[in-house]
Amino acid sequence: MDFTLFILACPAVGFLLLALAGMRMSHRAAGLTGTLLMAVTTVLSGATAWRFFTAARNADGVLPAQIPFNVEWLPLGGSLHIDMGMLLDPISVMMLVVVSGVSLMVHIYSLGYMKGERGFQRYYAFLSLFTFSMLGLVVAANVFQMYVFWELVGVSSYLLIGFYYTRPEAIAASKKAFIVTRFADLGFLIGILIYGYYVGTFSFSPSQEGLMRGGMMLPWALGLMFIGGAGKSAMFPLHIWLPDAMEGPTPVSALIHAATMVVAGVYQVARLFPLYIGYAPQVLHMVAVVGVVTAFYAATVACVQSDIKRVLAFSTISQIGFMMVALGVCTSVLPHEGGLGYMASMFHLFTHALFKALLFLGAGSIIHAVHSNEMSTMGGLRRYMPVTHITFLVACLAIAGIPGFSGFFSKDEILAACFAYSPVIGWIMTFIAGMTAFYMFRLYYGIFWGRENKALHEAHRPHESPLVMTAPLMILAVLTLAVGWMPFGHFISSDGEAYDIHIDATVASVSVIVALIAIALATWMYARPQQPVADALARRFPALHRAAYRRFYMDEAWLFVTRRIIFRCVSAPLAWWDRRVIDQFMNFMAWSANACAEELQPVQSGKVQSYTLWFLGGIVVLTLVLLAC
């Protein structure tokens, strides 16, 4: 048996162990069990990646995909069956490394962050469950297996968002996250049904005849599957669950709602990329449009939020929009002729996972210190928390796209791909990249410089977090600095062949200039204790500010649909109808039987006179009838 199987087995064992025996373990034992098993998984993932990427390439220069195991799990008639397998190809191996690596960091970090929390063992059990599901999702060998694990990550996300289950906000947020993604998953499921029926398999690489049969229906299948992906990846207008999901513990936000689960939608599109390019390019371009809208919308909202986790959440939505756009603007599988976006998207997924996890863990460290998410309780924290400050700054520079930091390289590829497809999209995305730099530095200054909440900090002096929390920050910061320089195109490209990344000088200089202007603007507006410009703007455009702060009322719109329409206009009348009409009809039947009996009962009066009368009457009637015949 191949050792890769243990990548999945370790977190699964961890989950079972902690779920069944966790309450008998001490916090320390439970945390270490989860973390150690995760460390094993990470090492095995690393080994897998090493073995995979150093293997000999095929004759056409492609790294050979491997399927270490594949078993039939559930037969579904005809040629259809759900298999449980493990597919190793460049993107799944990359995701293995990302997921297990970030998960390990979060496991270590949580030892400090969650220390002494009630339900510590449960927390680690859920983290293991999530990691298992996510790893299962990325190595899925067929689309139905992907759906199976897709649902499992949804549930682990639900459980972790609702970790503080006594808080009403957390309960509402977890419910919302699950139901919104479930709604989107319905699209995914129907897409799979169509795909399975017309193509005749759930495999990612169906036979040529299957594709011919699928033909016309394939765009529908892919489009519907994308709805599932859009739900999980918080694409507009299905993004509403993600900002609320920040009610979960911060390390969870870092792992699930920033680095891994929310990019599942991007991963899904990338996984099905050959089908999109070959049979449904129009759907792919729709993906791009959705990505642009989402990226822009989320960036706008991120500029005015005051809760640091919300800012990061909208930033995540916006960045995932970037990845979607990059995939969407592809026009061919050849990296040199319109297939650049594929590599760019995966590259950005990779770098984003690192620096966004870093940002969230940094935010966790800050929240740990000031016990609040609100920016108004922060300001001037650089003096108290040097490590968090520097690592956070590194991540901000990376996401803003400053040369040398990882975000620069991947974002530059995305912009290049956009410009190659359409200058309009290119300029829009460059502008959004500028907004990204702006809101990230607004956040950075708001936390570490700007208006300091001196009164609060006197009363409760913020302190740097313990080493178990800062160590992951430092590791991630180093990685954020380093990974941009790796030859990513050698490992992953749209046709699988090695591709040399070269920086497009024009695009790069434009984007860097835009980013620098945005940072300068943010510095001018937010770096000092007095912020006249920002306040004046908020006063000058109160409606716009409020609308953006309330996320352009998207949540209210959804609430209207669910509360008013589904609850009030569908369910309540149906329930009323059931009780008052259908059930009453049954009662009416019973009542009428009863009433008839009541009416007929006097006939059996026991009086001989009336019996005689009836008897005579009967004879007369019968006689008349017989005579008439």
Partner 1 sequence: MNILSLFVLIPLLMLAGLWLARTLNQVRGVMVTGASLLLAAAVWLTVAYIGQRNAGAAQEMLFTDSITWYAPLHICYSVGVDGISVAMLLLSAIIVFTGTFASWRLQPLTKEYFLWFTLLSTGVFGFFISTDLFTMFMFYEVALIPMYLLIGVWGSGRKEYAAMKLTLMLMGASAFLLIGILGIYYGAGGDTMNILELVKRDIPYDMQRLFFPLVFLGFGVLGALFPFHTWSPDGHASAPTAVSMLHAGVLMKLGGYGCFRVAMYLMPEGAAEWGNFFLVLTTISVVYGAFSAVVQTDLKYINAYSSVSHCGLVLFALLMMTRTSCTGAILQMLSHGLMTALFFALIGMIYGRTHTRDIRQLRGLMRIMPFLSVGYVIAGLANLGLPGLSGFVAEMTVFVGSFEHPDTFHRTCTLIATMSIVITAVYILRVVGRILYGTCTNEAHLKLTDATWDERFAVICLIAAVAGLGIAPLWMSNLISESVAPVIAQLLGHAL
What is the contact surface with partner 1 in residues (CB under 8 A)?
Answer: 72-78, 80, 82, 144, 148-149, 151-152, 155, 158, 162, 165-166, 168, 170-172, 174-175, 178-179, 182-183, 186, 189-190, 193-194, 196-197, 566-567, 570-572, 574-575, 578, 582-583, 586-587, 590
Tokens of 191: 């897409």
Least Å from the CB of residue 174 to partner 1: 8
Residue among 153, 155, 124, 157 at smallest CA distance from 137: 153
Least Å from the CB of residue 188 to partner 1: 11
Residue with smaller CB distance to partner 1, 520 or 575: 575
Least Å from the CB of residue 141 to partner 1: 15
Greatest alpha-carbon span in the chain: 118
Tokens of 307: 């809760």
Residue with smaller CB distance to partner 1, 165 or 541: 165
Least Å from the CB of residue 334 to partner 1: 36
Residue among 475, 492, 391 at smallest CA distance from 96: 492
Secondary structure of 47-114 in the HEC alphabet?
HHHHHHHCCCCCCCCCCCCEEEEEEEEEECCCCCEEEEEEEECHHHHHHHHHHHHHHHHHHHHHHHHC
Residue 518: CA count within 13 A, CB half-sphere: 28
Least Å from the CB of residue 599 to partner 1: 20
Least Å from the CB of residue 196 to partner 1: 6
Residue with smaller CB distance to partner 1, 15 or 226: 15
**CA distance linking residue 257 with residue 542, whole number of Å:** 31
Residue with smaller CB distance to partner 1, 76 or 624: 76
Q: Are 48 and 7 in contact (CB under 8 A)?
A: yes
Least Å from the CB of residue 203 to partner 1: 15
Distance of CA 165 to the CA centre of its chain: 21
Least Å from the CB of residue 146 to partner 1: 11
Burial class (CB in 10 A: 0-12, 13-18, 19+), 488: buried
Least Å from the CB of residue 14 to partner 1: 16
SS3 288: helix
Burial class (CB in 10 A: 0-12, 13-18, 19+), 220: middle
Distance of CA 409 to the CA centre of its chain: 24
Angle at 90 between CA 71 and CA 211, to 5 degrees: 65
Residue with smaller CB distance to partner 1, 148 or 525: 148
Residue with smaller CB distance to partner 1, 36 or 76: 76
CA dihedral 591→593→598→603, nearest 10 degrees, is 170
Q: Are 8 and 136 in contact (CB under 8 A)?
A: yes
**CA distance linking residue 306 with residue 158, whole number of Å:** 25
Residue with smaller CB distance to partner 1, 132 or 499: 132
Tokens of 390: 């520097």
Residue among 265, 264, 144 at smallest CA distance from 199: 144
Residue with smaller CB distance to partner 1, 560 or 567: 567
Rounded to the nearest 10 degrees, the angle between the axes of helix 340-370 and helix 264-271 is 170
Least Å from the CB of residue 38 to partner 1: 20
Q: Is the peptide bond before 237 cis (omega within 30 degrees of 0)?
A: yes
Residue with smaller CB distance to partner 1, 252 or 361: 252
Least Å from the CB of residue 572 to partner 1: 5
Residue with smaller CB distance to partner 1, 51 or 213: 213
SS3 249: coil
Residue with smaller CB distance to partner 1, 76 or 513: 76
